[in-house]
Amino acid sequence: MKKKQVAKVPFWRFLIHASDILKNPLPFHHANFARHGNNFRLQIGPGKSVVFSRDAAFAKYCLQKNQRNYTKSPIQTKDLLKYVGRGLLTAEGEHWSKQRKLIQPAFHKKHLANLMDVVKRTVEDELSRIKPGKKEDIFPIFNDLAFQAVVRSLFSSAASREEINRLQHITEANQMMLVKELRQPFKKYYFRVSGKIKHHLGLSQESREILLKLVNSRKKSGKREGDLLDMLLDARYEDGSSITEHQLLDEILILFVAGHETTSNALTFICELLARNPRVQEKLYEETGHLDDMDVMKYLQELKYTKQVVEEGLRLYPPAYFIDRVNLEDDNFEGFDFKAGTNILFSLYEVHRHPDHWENPEAFMPERFEDPKKHTAYYFPFGAGPRMCIGNNFAMYEMALAVAHISRNYIIEKEETPIEIKPMITLKPKNAYLKFVARKKDT
């Protein structure tokens, strides 16, 4: 096969767009993809570069077919790790494999069935805060909903609102600091000597102390709640040993970071999309409006179109909008050579909107997911391969329950303005002001 060269984007172009990249790097990425094709190499400093890709086949190759040669980049294994510890999201190698085997059973569908009643009640409780007839920023509602769902699934009702609010604040503050570190690498020295990093590491320690208090309270009580904490405390490694206190806190922090924000982002974007597509709202109501109270897992099985709506929302606005990898050994993919140690960022935002894969890619068309297997080669909302998100089923169930509750009880007033985004570590919504109108039930 003829050798190809990845197009290079010079450092000066990165510098002149630095302020815009800090706010939103996606237009800069899109412009370079449009100019150079599915892959380009961005110089971010002397001797430092990153390969950006929107090639779905290359992503599959790195994440699945040749995944043993690709590890997560320092963005997660070093930069994020210092704030949340070495849990499933940030661990690699043997440590990751050991933790995955330990934790995986807690997220099997049969165990999730025990948690879905709690999640459904959480959805109903938190969405009761919607003020019908008043236009309001809906992200805080979904942010609280998703955080409460994680907290109640982990700790039942043990965590206070004050503790939950503090954990949310720390999670969001540390994420903002990490974004600055990643998008302004030339300020690395300043962040360190100014004490900013030290301050945020102190916040991380505070969150660990809050969680440790909750864990110790459970141990002392001797009470079983049947929640995720019980499952983690009961879990055993192959040698029969249990998880250490330090590792338990690492895994819980990861669950907070990965388990709440992605869901709150996705639900906000889905409602934004529904506000701009009244036809989809009515079709949702046709499915959900007649469903009576039933076993929650049976209820979820009935939400077929609701699931398609969620999947299409995740396509257009994937919360985990990029995946990073570094190759351990030299590699070649379809004529492109990649030396060992190449930093690669796969833009899922671009893959999910690539015109080669999607008919009318910018349009919101839930029906395209009627066949769930049709798009697996270029649809990665939860990643792919062995490192696919361990909580994907939990997240899909939670989002389906929330969307179903909204469609049964509200009409979202039509909006015409473009949806605004705020790319951070995850893809976040911006200015998501919507008006919900109480739906008149058929009599």
Pick the range with the lowest mean pLDDT from 152-156, 329-333, 401-405: 152-156
Q: Which DSSP category does 291 fall into? A: P
* Dihedrals phi, psi of 89, to nearest 5 degrees: -70, -30
Among 51-60, 80-89, 411-420, which stretch is predicted with the lowest mean pLDDT?
A: 80-89
Does residue 271 have a pLDDT over 80?
Answer: yes
Cα separation, 286 vs 299, whole angstroms: 15
- Digit-coded pLDDT (tens) for 295-352: 899 999 999 999 999 999 999 999 999 999 999 999 999 999 999 999 999 999 999 9
CA distance 441 to 197: 53
Tell me the CATH class for 7-438.
mainly alpha
pLDDT above 70 for 290: yes
Domain boundaries, the chain: 7-438
- Confidence at residue 443, expressed as pLDDT on a 0 to 100 scale: 43
- Mean pLDDT value across residues 83-89: 87
Q: Which two tokens stand for residue 227?
A: 């929640």
8 contact partners, CB below 8 Å, separation of at least 6? 40, 41, 43, 49
Q: Are the C-beta atoms of 413 and 436 separated by less than 8 Å?
A: yes
pLDDT bin (cut points 50, 70, 90) of residue 376 is very high
Q: Does 141 have pLDDT greater than 90?
A: yes
Enumerate residues 6+ apart whose C-beta is below 8 A from 401. Answer: 116, 119, 120, 123, 296, 300
Q: Which two tokens stand for residue 53?
A: 């890709």
What distance, in Å, lies between the first and last C-alpha atoms of the chain? Answer: 68
Q: Mapping DSSP to helix (H, G, I), strand (E, B) and coil, where does residue 419 land?
A: coil
Kindly compute the dihedral angle of the four CA atoms of residues 372, 375, 379, 381, in this order, to the nearest 10 degrees.
Answer: -10
DSSP track, 373-403: TTTTTS--BTB-GGGS-TTHHHHHHHHHHHH
Mean pLDDT estimate for the chain: 91
| 254, 84 contact by CB (below 8 A) | yes
Question: How far is residue 192's CA from residue 352's CA, in Å, rounded to a whole number?
Answer: 37
CA distance 359 to 375: 12
The partner residues of 435 in beta bridges, in order of sequence, read 135
CB 383 within 8 A of CB 62: no
Residue predicted with more confidence, 293 or 7: 7
Cα–Cα distance, 257 to 81 (Å, whole number): 11
Which residues, other chains included, contact 65 with Cβ-Cβ below 8 Å and sequence gap of 6+? none
pLDDT for res 199: 95
Q: Considering the entire predicted model, what is its pTM?
A: 0.90
Average pLDDT, stretch 357-364?
Answer: 96
Quickly state the pLDDT bin for 165 (edges 50, 70, 90): confident
Q: What is the DSSP string of 15-42?
A: HHTHHHHHH--HHHHHHHHHHH-SEEEE
Q: How many residues are there in the chain?
A: 443
Q: What is the pLDDT of residue 195?
A: 92
